[in-house]
């Protein structure tokens, strides 16, 4: 459905996307990466909005930059929350259908709203909708021409857990219908819950690809850094090394920063060990749970 071959995109001397190759099949695929990783730029190229500086892209077998028909078979849900707030949902989606010059845009809009579980007869202004409902209106607007490829830029951002679950279920429904649904996110947890194939992009490069379970495993394999504050850090450190619970450490009187390959085992053993050694434990804090460190790890592995 989508083939990306050695694609790079430069803006002056900024490398937004760097030598990315991948294929994307029908169903749901997540594009995971921190802000500035190149996700939107890749999406814009897939929609034919901007050409690659190098390499080739094929969507449904054609170049989206050259082939107008193919562009009509791609739906984009942009990140911006720019709706016409004074319109009702059906009015807003009707405008989208009319812009595609569709016959009977009102009927098309009602059908698209049905797909996203919104009532076309609801007269409420879109401006008064919740974030999750607005997001669904945007998806409905992108569905008016029944696209085979649906590209969604950060569609889960700002949704509460219930809205996120409903949205995720919708993506899978659209994927099960045979559509290629590409969803970007900078939130690891969001993607893990999406339960899909994952492409990880960092600093413009494809850092990892695989099933979301592979990604979890990969992350679990990496050393975790933990800061431990205790009344006698040196005594505790000696024992942690002897017991093989840590692979590296740095130490001052009260603070101990350790790397461990098994953060769960360390978590289970640390308090009983401290009691046994008569050491008072003040704090055990993970230092590298932020997403940036996960990406750094994935990128450095390459
Ligand atoms: P993401 O969507 O992952 O946050 P982007 O694709 O928006 O990342 O951006 C990737 C990089 O390209 C960033 O460094 C960004 O500043 C740069 N960039 C994106 N668009 C432009 C542009 N039109 N002009 C200059 N630099 C850009």
For 238-287, how does the pLDDT look when each residue is reduced to its tens digit (9 = 90+)?
999 999 999 889 988 789 999 988 888 898 899 999 999 999 999 888 77
Closest-CA residue, ligand 1 atom 21, reads 11
Q: In this predicted structure, what is the pLDDT of residue 138?
A: 92
For residue 145, the number of C-alpha atoms closer than 13 Å in the C-beta half-sphere is 21
- Residue 14 has a CB neighbour count (10 Å cut-off) of 11
Percentage of the chain modeled with pLDDT above 90: 60
Q: Is the CB of 16 under 6 A from ligand 1?
A: yes
Question: What pLDDT, on a 0 to 100 scale, did the predictor assign at position 288?
Answer: 59
Residue 12, by phi and psi: left (phi above 0), alpha (psi -120 to 50) or beta?
Answer: left
Ligand 1 closest atom vs CA 186: 3
Can you tell me the mean pLDDT for 112-125? 92
Determine the atom of ligand 1 nearest the C-alpha atom of 201.
3
Mean pLDDT, residues 39-55: 96
> Which of the residue ranges 93-107, 214-228, 286-300 would you say has the lowest mean pLDDT?
286-300
41: Cβ below 6 Å to ligand 1? yes
Distance 41 CA to ligand 1 centre (A): 6
User: Binning pLDDT at 50, 70 and 90, where does residue 163 land?
Assistant: confident
Of 133, 125, 188, 184, which Cα lies nearest the Cα of 162?
Answer: 133
Q: What is the pLDDT of residue 296?
A: 61
Q: Which CATH class, in words, describes the domain spanning 224-301?
A: alpha beta
Give the 3-state DSSP-derived string for the chain, with helices as H, strands as E and coil as C: CEEEEEEEEEECCEEEEEEEEEEECCEEEEEECCCCCCHHHHHHHHCCCCCCCEEEEEECCECCCCCHHHHCCEEEECCCCCCCCCCEHHHHHHHHHHHCCCCCHHHHHHHHHHHCCCCCCCCCEHHHCCHHHHHHHHHHHHHCCCCCEEEECCCCCCCCHHHHHHHHHHHHHHHHCCCEEEEEECCHHHHHHHCCEEEEEECCEEEEEEEHHHHHHHHHHCCEEEEEEECCHHHHHHHHHHCCCCCEEEECCCEEEEEECCHHHHHHHHHHHHHHHCCCEEEEEECCCCHHHHHHHHHHHC
Q: Which protein residue has the closest C-alpha to ligand 1 atom 6?
A: 38
Query: What are the structural domain ranges in the chain?
Result: 2-217, 224-301
Residue 132, pLDDT > 60, answer yes
The two most distant CA atoms of the chain are separated, in Å, by 79
Q: If you measure from the C-alpha of residue 78 to the centroid of ligand 1, how many angstroms do you get, rounded to a whole number?
A: 15
Which pLDDT score, from 0 to 100, does residue 205 have?
92
Which ligand 1 atom is nearest residue 43's CA? 6
What's residue 291's pLDDT? 54
Candidate from 47-51, 143-147, 284-288 with smallest mean pLDDT? 284-288
62-85 per-position pLDDT tens digit: 999 999 899 989 999 988 777 778
Mean pLDDT of 166-187: 92
Residue 301's pLDDT is 52
- Residue 189, pLDDT score: 72
Across 28-42, 66-80, 110-124, 275-289, least confident range: 275-289
- Residue 20's pLDDT band, with cuts at 50, 70 and 90, is very high
| Contact present, 136 and 170 (Cβ < 8 Å) | yes
pLDDT at 41: 96
**In this predicted structure, which of 5-14, 148-157, 196-205, 220-229 has the lowest mean pLDDT?**
220-229
d(CA 228, CA 238): 13
What's residue 180's pLDDT? 96
**Averaged confidence pLDDT in the chain:** 88
Each residue's pLDDT tens digit, 208-240: 888 877 766 766 666 788 899 999 999 999 999
- The percent of residues above 70 in pLDDT, for the chain, comes to 92
The dotted CATH code for 2-217 is 3.40.50.300
Q: In which band, very low, low, confident or very high, does the pLDDT at 40 lie, cut at 50, 70 and 90?
A: very high
């Amino acid at each position: 459905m989508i083939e990306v071959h050695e694609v790079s995109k430069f803006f002056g001397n900024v490398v937004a996307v760097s030598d990315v190759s991948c294929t994307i099949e029908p169903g749901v695929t997540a594009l995971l990466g921190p802000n500035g990783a190149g996700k939107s730029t890749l999406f814009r190229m897939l929609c034919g909005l901007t050409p690659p500086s190098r390499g080739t892209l094929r969507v449904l077998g054609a170049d989206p930059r050259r082939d107008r028909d193919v562009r009509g078979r791609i739906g984009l849900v942009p990140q911006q929350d720019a709706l016409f707030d004074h319109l009702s949902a059906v009015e807003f989606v009707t405008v989208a259908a009319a812009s595609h010059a569709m016959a009977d845009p009102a009927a098309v809009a009602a059908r698209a709203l049905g797909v996203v579980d919104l009532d076309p007869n609801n007269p409420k202004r879109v401006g008064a909708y919740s974030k999750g409902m607005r997001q669904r209106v945007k998806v409905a607007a992108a569905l008016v021409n029944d696209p085979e490829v649906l590209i969604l830029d950060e569609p889960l951002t700002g949704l509460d857990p219930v809205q996120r679950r409903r949205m995720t279920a919708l993506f899978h429904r659209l994927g099960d219908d045979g559509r290629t649904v590409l969803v970007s996110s900078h939130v690891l947890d969001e993607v893990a819950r999406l339960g899909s194939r994952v492409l990880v992009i960092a600093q413009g490069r494809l850092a990892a690809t695989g099933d979301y379970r592979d990604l979890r495993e990969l992350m679990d394999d990496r050393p975790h850094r933990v800061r431990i504050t205790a009344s006698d850090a040196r005594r505790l450190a000696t024992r942690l090394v002897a017991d093989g619970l840590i692979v590296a450490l740095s130490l001052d009187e009260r603070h101990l920063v350790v790397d461990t390959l098994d953060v769960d085992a360390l978590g289970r053993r640390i308090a009983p060990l401290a009691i046994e050694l008569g050491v008072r434990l003040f704090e055990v804090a993970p230092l590298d749970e932020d997403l940036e460190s996960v990406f750094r790890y994935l990128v450095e592995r390459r």
